[in-house]
Amino acid sequence: MGVLTRNNVKVKGQGGQAMVFSHGFGCDQNMWRFVAPEFERDYRTVLFDHVGAGGSDITAYDRTKYGTLAGYAQDVLEICRELRLERVVFVGHSVSAMVGVVAAIQEPERFDRLVLVGPSPCYIDDEGYVGGFSRQDIEQLLESLDDNYLGWSSTMAPVIMGNPDRAELGAELTNSFCRTDPEIAKHFAHVTFLSDHRADLPKVQTPSLVLQCSNDVIASEAVGEYVCRHLPGAELVLLKATGHCPNLSAPEETVAAMKAYLSA
């Protein structure tokens, strides 16, 4: 099986430099449909689905490989090698922000910039660190997800999306969660919410933009500030957008912030 088929890779755009978009938990590349086209004139845009999501080849799923975010980072690097991409601008949403961090540490020469949208290196509170959740919170969340994934999705997706006055956004995220293979989604959730990549942040050599939303229940402003403090050469932009998915709820503001950073 080819890498491009495995991850349902789609390439568009006219530019010489590549911009790779990586989606978050329970999503697929469709979540970038309002953002990626805005860069097609100046970049070669590359979109893909993590194995188990969207149009990816579900038979390629391996619980051992994808038992850590390193497995997802390996896929990103394989896509870049297959397409012979250099000086990549990597755009990662939510858990994919840390996937990009891991990939950039492994092959720093391949990346020019990281754009991290709603990143969190660790979701569980620790001494001197506010991740936003207690360990008990996360254990209850995962237990609820394991017991009834579809019910959990319909309850949690609108909360994660935020923007309660725009119910269609929460409905879209709910539908996206429900399209994802439940067993893979459960495993990915455990990998995501129990991961701790705080020690990786100082190892990153690639300049980074951290895009932080207001009222984000998954990755709070304190988390965004922590990421920016510990990532060498990072810049933090606090968006007016609320919730965890500005690529859907506020694509114009997201695009503007990215363009301002990349042109500076």
| 151-194 per-position pLDDT tens digit | 988 988 888 998 888 889 888 888 888 888 889 999 999 999 99
> Is there a catalytic annotation at residue 187?
no
CA atoms in the 13 A half-sphere facing the CB of 114: 36
The single residue of 23, 93, 197, 244 carrying the catalytic annotation is: 244
> Is there a catalytic annotation at residue 42?
no
pLDDT over 90 at 94, yes or no: yes
Q: Residue 122 is encoded by which pair of tokens?
A: 């660790």
The single residue of 23, 56, 75, 94 carrying the catalytic annotation is: 94
> Is there a catalytic annotation at residue 94?
yes
- Can you give the pLDDT at residue 178? 80
CATH entry, 3-122+197-263, from 1.20.1090.10, 3.60.20.10, 1.10.8.60, 3.40.50.1820: 3.40.50.1820
Q: pLDDT tens-digit profile of 138-152?
A: 999 999 999 999 898
pTM for this model (two decimals):
0.96
The single residue of 96, 195, 216, 249 carrying the catalytic annotation is: 216
- Which of 78-82, 120-124, 166-170, 230-234 shows the lowest per-residue confidence on average (mean pLDDT)? 166-170
Share the mean pLDDT of the chain: 95
- Can you give the pLDDT at residue 173? 87
